[in-house]
Amino acid sequence: MKRNMPSRSDVVGLIPAGGHATRLSPIPCSKEIYPVGFRRVDGRVHPKVVSHYLLENMRVAGVSRAYIVMRDGKWDIPAYFGGGIMLDMDLAYLLAGSSPGVPYTLDRAYSFVRQTVVAFGFPDILFDSESAFSDLLNRQDTTNADAVLGLFPADRPSVMDMVDVDDDGRVRAIVIHPAQTNLSLSWDVAVWTPAFTEFLHNYLPCEKSAAAANPELSVGGVIQAAIEHGLLIEGIQVSDAPYLDIGTPEGLTQALKRFSNLGVMAK
């Protein structure tokens, strides 16, 4: 990464890494640092891990610091990225402890991000857009929305969070894993303000009593609750191609095929 890249001190990256990768088990490392593709450093080609792409996209948008919230035992992630020098970022790591789902993992960072704009993404998902976070931050700057979602064409609606968005970009609803739908867009990345961070923090205690019976409360579920409580959630399409989830064997196989031929082109 170039040292003269822009910086936005008002934005911090937030990345959940608390999962057990049960769909891929067994693998020799945390899925967030599974090698997918290549990168060039001083003329030499090195493996490029999956979460590198997400962090790189944040950095292009000027995000120069990020928190990775992980569970105990995933020490290979900080061992790989360290303080973030390879990305020209400042990275810090938080332990989530026992977490029943991604929203609870994110809330572990509450006291660290409560007063700043958050750039959020899943570290095991790849997408085709170098300007995704730049586009989202520009939209939020313009409209002052509480959150802006990055939208993608959906290739598997039944396992995705489908987004009902109007012509002005206002999100009317998040429909989670519909058996049938006429909606065509899903979401994967987002930026949000302290208002949404506060909503997430206050909403989760209301859900904890039901967590044992419903451990899969998703970020999409929290976004839908925020819409119902009157927060302004917007969405903009950031890519013409579906995102790719490497957290499944099929997705990982596709990613390896797709990026294995890009080594000589890697940055």
SS3 180: coil
Predicted confidence at residue 264, as pLDDT, reads 41
Strand segments, DSSP code E, in 42-132 are 44-49, 65-70, 90-95, 117-120, 125-126
What b/e readout covers 103-126, taking b as 16+ CB neighbours within 10 angstroms? bbbbbbbeeebeebbbbbbbbbbb
Evaluate whether 48 touches 41 at the Cβ level (below 8 Å).
no
Cα R_g (the chain), whole angstroms: 18
Q: Phi then psi for 166, rounded to 5 degrees?
A: -85, 180
Evaluate whether 160 touches 149 at the Cβ level (below 8 Å).
no
| Each residue's pLDDT tens digit, 50-103 | 999 999 999 999 999 999 999 888 999 999 999 999 999 999 999 987 778 899
Predicted confidence at residue 84, as pLDDT, reads 96
* Domains in the chain with CATH codes: 11-260 (3.90.550.10)
Please give the residue that has the higher pLDDT: either 200 or 257. Answer: 200
- Given a cut of 80, whether residue 39 has pLDDT beyond it is no
Q: What does the DSSP assignment read for 46-69?
A: EEEEHHHHHHHHHHHTT--EEEEE
Please give the residue that has the higher pLDDT: either 6 or 72. Answer: 72
Percent of the chain with pLDDT over 70: 88
- Given a cut of 50, whether residue 263 has pLDDT beyond it is no
Please give the model's pTM, rounded to 2 decimal places.
0.90
CA distances for 70 relative to 35, 45, 56, 67, 75, angstroms: 19, 28, 19, 9, 9
Evaluate whether 192 touches 222 at the Cβ level (below 8 Å).
no
Q: Which of 37, 16, 45, 9 is nearest to 190 (CA)?
A: 16
Give the count of beta carbons closer than 10 Å to the beta carbon of residue 237.
Answer: 18
Joined together, the tokens standing for residue 124 give 């095991």
Please give the residue that has the higher pLDDT: either 79 or 266. Answer: 79
| Structure letter (DSSP) for residue 170 | B
Percent helix / strand / coil, the chain, rounded to 5: 35, 25, 40
Question: Which residues, including other chains, have CB under 8 Å from residue 4's CB and lie 6 or more apart?
Answer: none
| Each residue's pLDDT tens digit, 130-179 | 999 999 999 999 999 999 999 999 999 999 999 999 999 999 999 999 99
- Given a cut of 70, whether residue 182 has pLDDT beyond it is yes
Predicted confidence at residue 23, as pLDDT, reads 62
Joined together, the tokens standing for residue 111 give 């006291």
Give the count of beta carbons closer than 10 Å to the beta carbon of residue 182.
Answer: 8
